[in-house]
Amino acid sequence: MENLKEKVSYLKGLTEGLELEESKETKLLKKIISVLQDFADAIDELEASQVELEEYVEAIDEDLGNLERDYYDLDDYEEEPDYLEVTCPHCNEVVFIDESIDDEVLCPNCRERIEINDNDNSGKENE
Ligand SMILES: [Zn+2]
């Protein structure tokens, strides 16, 4: 809120520059400008603590995001893109196969061999 402080400073300078005669009105005017200055300072402090608070909340949000990512990664492990969803041709069970295995794998359900065909990622076609 630098603009507000600048405006009050301008008003203060203007009042001093006018060299107003000492009077009740002048006294009142200077008092009002002094109060405006207090307002501008208070808002400036408020804004500084607001920025600090926003940074703090952002840091918490980031930490929470990391925690959520770690937590849900463990839960959704089988749905990671590194794993192929394959229907076993022997028992028709849908199993998840590590994509790095490119020839064949044993079905975790019926222990029969499942051949992994590179051209058929769904694995639903028997050849
Ligand atoms: Zn099977």
Angle at 81 between CA 78 and CA 83, to 5 degrees: 50
The Cα 71–Cα 65 span in angstroms is 10
**Ligand 1 centroid distance, CA of 71 (Å):** 30
| pLDDT per residue as tens digits for the range 61-119 | 999 998 888 887 765 555 555 777 888 889 999 888 777 776 778 888 898 888 876 55
**Ligand 1 centroid distance, CA of 114 (Å):** 7
Written as one string, the DSSP assignment of 13-57 is HHHHHTTPPSSHHHHHHHHHHHHHHHHHHHHHHHHHHHHHHHHHH
Where along the chain do its domains lie? 2-75, 78-115
Q: Does pLDDT of 26 surpass 50? A: yes
Q: How does residue 125 score in pLDDT terms, banded at 50, 70 and 90?
A: very low
pLDDT for residue 49: 96
pLDDT for residue 48: 93
**Ligand 1 centroid distance, CA of 102 (Å):** 17
φ, ψ at 99 (rounded to 5°): -65, -20
| pLDDT per residue as tens digits for the range 29-53 | 999 999 999 999 999 999 999 999 9
